[in-house]
Amino acid sequence: MLFANHLIIVRGAGDLGTGVVYRLFKAGFPVLVLELSNPLVVRRKVALAAAVSEGEIQIEGMNGRLAKDVQEALSMINQGIIPVLVSADLESVVDQLPARPTAVIDARVAKRNIDTRIDQASLVIGLGPGFFAGQDCHAVIETKRGHTLGRVIWHGSAIPDTGTPGIVAGKGAERVLRAPQDGLAQWHVAIGDQVSSGEVLGDVNGEEVKAPFDGVVRGLIAPDTAVSMGLKIGDIDHRADRDACFSISDKALAIGGAALEAVLSYLNSMVLD
């Protein structure tokens, strides 16, 4: 790897976090992913977080694999594998590393700052709203679709969360499937399936979840996942492009490119200094 001595920790590997990992990995950076024990990821076919439940996942030439501990994760990196380590505690992971990471990227997209601090690495990056560059982190990346998507913000914050999903093929909030009640999600369809408006896709504790319009199933939360009412549990794409369900999105790649830009800008500034 060109940047073998510059380990980057990415916290959260949903579809957007996976776009970040993809850009960094392809550019030659070693990457360690931290995830929760039960990630509530919807676009599972393009999310490294799926390795937590599946053990391993292949995404556009990346091999993501669940690591049992930090030492196994470091061994995987040397083999060209993206390790996915279950840990919500960044500090305990960093303490076990041979050297501090060059960068920590909060890609959990929680729309708020959970526990990220600017002193956690030489470069700390936050994705989306909830962070203020110069206080919580060194840089913020805009995640909202539109003209500023993928911008690196070195002072200030991203656009506040609107609570409304971005428009894709003319569909906004209606393309998102949400849990109708608390319970376990079950599905009668799979990611990539073509569905018709009103078709029953699955249920949560017996209450049906139906397709809002004709399209393709872009994402579904893992079967038997415990969900709460209102939680995003699926995504229907009106464009009906099945291949898009299994490839990293334009949005994720734009955000990933911004993360790569931020890391390289930081390293370049160190050389110039």
| pLDDT tens, residue order, the chain (273 aa) | 789 999 999 999 999 999 999 999 999 999 999 999 999 999 999 999 999 999 999 999 999 999 999 999 999 999 999 999 999 899 999 999 999 999 999 999 999 999 999 999 999 999 999 999 999 999 999 999 999 999 999 999 999 987 766 666 565 678 899 999 999 999 999 999 999 999 999 999 999 999 999 999 999 999 999 999 999 999 999 888 899 999 999 999 999 999 999 999 999 998 776
pLDDT value of position 166: 62
pLDDT value of position 233: 97
Bridge partners for 220 per DSSP:
234
Closest CA to 77 of 27, 22, 19, 31: 31
Burial readout 148-182 (b: 16 or more C-beta within 10 A, e: otherwise): ebbbbbeeebbeeeeeeeeebeebeeebbbebbee
Closest CA to 229 of 175, 173, 184: 184
Residue 204 near residue 180 (C-beta atoms within 8 A): yes
H/E element, 73: helix 70-78
Architecture label for domain 8-162+250-272: 3-Layer(aba) Sandwich (3.40)
Both tokens of 212, joined, read 């809002």
> What phi and psi values does residue 165 have, to the nearest 5 degrees?
-60, 150
Domain boundaries, the chain: 8-162+250-272, 173-238
Residue 172 near residue 165 (C-beta atoms within 8 A): yes
Is 173-238 assigned to CATH 2.40.50.100? yes
Cα–Cα distance between 229 and 238 in angstroms, integer?
A: 24
Cα–Cα distance between 273 and 270 in angstroms, integer?
A: 5
pLDDT value of position 75: 97
Closest CA to 91 of 75, 70, 111: 70
DSSP 8-state class, residue 167? P
Cα–Cα distance between 70 and 51 in angstroms, integer?
A: 16
pTM for this model (two decimals): 0.93
pLDDT value of position 47: 98
Both tokens of 258, joined, read 């911004």
Residue 236 near residue 211 (C-beta atoms within 8 A): yes
> What phi and psi values does residue 239 have, to the nearest 5 degrees?
-70, -20
Single-letter residue type at 70: V
Strand 56-59 relative to strand 8-11, pairing: unpaired
pLDDT value of position 167: 61
Q: Is 226 helix (H, G, I), strand (E, B) or coil?
A: strand
Burial readout 119-143 (b: 16 or more C-beta within 10 A, e: otherwise): ebbebbbbbbbbbbbeebbbbbbbb
Q: Is 67 helix (H, G, I), strand (E, B) or coil?
A: strand
Cα–Cα distance between 140 and 34 in angstroms, integer?
A: 19
Neighbours of 80 (CB within 10 A): 11
